[in-house]
Structure 1
Amino acid sequence: MAVELPAEVQERGERLGRGVRYALKVLCGQLEDNPLLGSPTGEPSMYAARIDGETFEDCPELDVQYAYGPPMLAEGQVRILSVEAAQPAAVAPEREPVAAPDPRLEEMAARQVTAAWQRVETWLRDHAPVSFDSLQEGASSEEIDRAERELGVRVPGDLRALWHLHRGVQSSSGAAFLPDNAKLMTIAEAIELHQHWGQIYDFGDGLWDHRWIPVCTLGEHSWSNGLYLDAGTGEVWSWDEFANRRVEFESLTTLLEEMADALEAPSLAGPAKPGLVDGALVWGTP
């Protein structure tokens, strides 16, 4: 069994000490023999291992995160994801274990999101061509897998299905066509904003959690307000620059189904009704 050690991960590790290269080589050999050498982190496919710095010359104590097998990788594959200088246990923020998802429920959620989005997309194509033209192409499984590694959390089946359809929208007129005139973020924007809030709130103080994946921003250019998907519960929450949080939708499916219903039967919409401005979908007072 070959263990993948990406060049960029090795380069970052080698900045920590001259002996890190050899220490990682030894660890890769150990993982080839026993991929379950590390400890499960509580997230599917994710394991953590520690390298004793005293064992290797010019090498500090290291914390190594790696992935093994499904759902993140193919059966039998191992990939080193990160190498960092070890922190004292009291300093490292604790993360609650996340239960492994039920594949049947994941598949059902993916089908529901796909069906709801296709209703939305059909309406956009027929009535709001400017908004329809803002849609980007769908993302490949490999692109979403890379996003998972950068986010540090499994992308739930419903969001994965949405990204397979479209990786986001172009930053153009008519792109903010979701309810409340929100804009569907690109995968790259979601990663950047996730890391931005994680750096500000340090992922450990309760103000921003590593499982919260940004989905859309309220407005085309503002990152101060938006919606994120809680990968742990499946709920869609709103956030604002003052760290206010509240549940807006039971799931991503609920958000899209309610949007599709409002487009097809505007009388079902809330106070903000769907309308058109120069070929773009907007939401506001009738």
Structure 2
Amino acid sequence: MSTTVDIPRHVQEHCNQLGKGASYALKVLCAQLSNDPLLGTPQDNPSSYTVEIDGDTFEDCPALQVHYAYGPPLLEEDRVEIRSVTATQPPVTGVDDRDQVPDTRLEEIVVRQVTGAWRRIETWLRERAPASFASLQAGASREEIDRTESELGVRVPVELRALWGLHRGVHSSVGAAFLQDNGKLMTITEVVDLHRHWGEVYDDHLWDRRWIPVCTLGEHSWSSGLYLDAGTGEMWSWDEFANRQAEFESLTSYLEETADALEVPSLAGPVRPGLVDGALVWGTYGGPV
């Protein structure tokens, strides 16, 4: 009897963005798992397995790491669920991603979207949360952003360049963690430092140079936050246990959803914006906005 293999929609969409070769490789793996669900390497958590896919085996496919769950206690008997697909290296194309020619018309649209969403957030802070508004640093120059891009070793997506052009980060002060889930916009220097730290601490299976940290959850810790996948454009969460999960389809959508939740708090769900001593906070402990 074959095993049922499920792929959640967000995992399939992420895989599609990694290229046609990646989608085909995942399809082949699912067929293999249907016949042999114990194909992968067991992980520390019960029912959790990991399998590596060699990118050279499939055309237009990066090397992949696939995490999946099989059977109890996470799932019922004879069921596999693909939990995540991570590119551990970019597909070999012979062209560095920083040398690719951008679509200037598309970039202009993205810049307008990011700027519009951020201005809505900034206006709200100025009018209602002066402590958080005061934490904003000045915008970075194009030269500074180019220098950062060189230090990261990966093309910085246009939406992040646009955000940094507005503000290079926030000061470490009361009210600085004002983004959703009490996230703190990292400074450019902190981004480079954490990006380098990940490269030193994690091996190739847990680290991709295209992951650019954007904000930490909380003011004084690097243990969790959100990063921008420069390869797919998605915003992912990370934590100190190297868990990762896709959270937003783009940095633009993350900023737009934040602005929407500030202007119409009911859109934020149970974790709504509030105020404490002139600072924006998210959760039940803040006063009404």
TM-score bin (small chain): 0.5 to 0.7
1:151 maps to amino acid: L
2:265 aligned with 1:269, yes or no?
no
Structure 1: how far apart are the matches of 2:252 and 2:142?
A: 20
2:208 corresponds to 1:209:
yes
| In structure 1, C-alpha distance between the alignment counterparts of 2:220 and 2:94, rounded to whole Å | 36
Distance 1:271 1:282 in 2: 13
Q: Which residue number corresponds to residue 120 of structure 1?
A: 121
Shift of 1:104: 2.3
8 Å CA contact retained: 1:106, 1:156: no
Contact 2:228 2:251 (8 Å CA) reproduced: yes
- Separation of aligned partners in 1, 2:255 and 2:195: 22
State percent identity of aligned pairs.
Answer: 74
> What's the offset of the Cα at 1:108?
1.4
In structure 1, how many angstroms separate the alpha carbons of the residues matched to 2:225 and 2:149?
20
Q: CA deviation at 1:102?
A: 2.8
- 1:254 Cα offset (Å): 0.5
1:65 maps to what in 2?
none
Distance 1:223 1:262 in 2: 25
Give the TM-score of the pair, scaled to structure 1. Answer: 0.65
Identify the residue that residue 43 of structure 1 maps to in structure 2.
96
Distance 1:199 1:43 in 2: 22
Map Cα deviations across residues 201-230 of structure 1 (whole Å, 9 max, x no partner): 14xx23111001000000001101010001
Q: Take 1:209 and 1:257, find their aligned partners in 2: how far apart are those partners? A: 26
Alignment of 1:125-164 (within 5 A): 125-164=126-165
> What is the CA deviation profile of residues 263-284 of structure 1, one whole-angstrom value per residue up to 9, with x for unaligned ones?
1111111210000000000000
Q: Aligned letter for 1:165? A: L
Query: Structure 2 length as normaliser, TM-score?
Result: 0.65
Quickly say closer, same or farther: Cα 1:218–1:45, change in 2 above 3 A: closer
Q: CA RMSD in A?
A: 1.7
Code of the aligned partner of 1:248: E
Unaligned runs of 5+ in 1: 1-39, 47-98
1:227 alignment counterpart: 226
Partners in 2 of 1:155 and 1:121 — Cα distance?
Answer: 23
Determine the C-alpha separation between the residues in 2 that align with 1:105 and 1:206. 33
Instruction: Report the Cα distance in structure 2 between the residues aligned to 1:243 and 1:281, rounded to whole angstroms.
Output: 28
Which amino acid in 1 is paired with 2:155?
Answer: R
On the 8 A contact 2:98/2:154 being kept in 1, the answer is no
Corresponding residue SS for 1:149: helix
Give, as a single letter, the amino acid of the residue that structure 1 aligns with 2:159: D
Taking a change above 3 Å as real, the CA distance of residues 265 and 156 of structure 1, as seen in their structure-2 partners, is same
Matches within 5 A, 1:86-101: 100-101=101-102
- In structure 1, the residue matched to 2:192 is 191
1:154-181: CA deviation from partner (whole Å, max 9, x where unpaired): 1111000000000000000100000000
Deviation beyond 6 Å, 4+ runs, structure 1: none
Distance 1:106 1:209 in 2: 24
Whether contact under 8 Å (1:43, 1:100) holds in the other structure is no
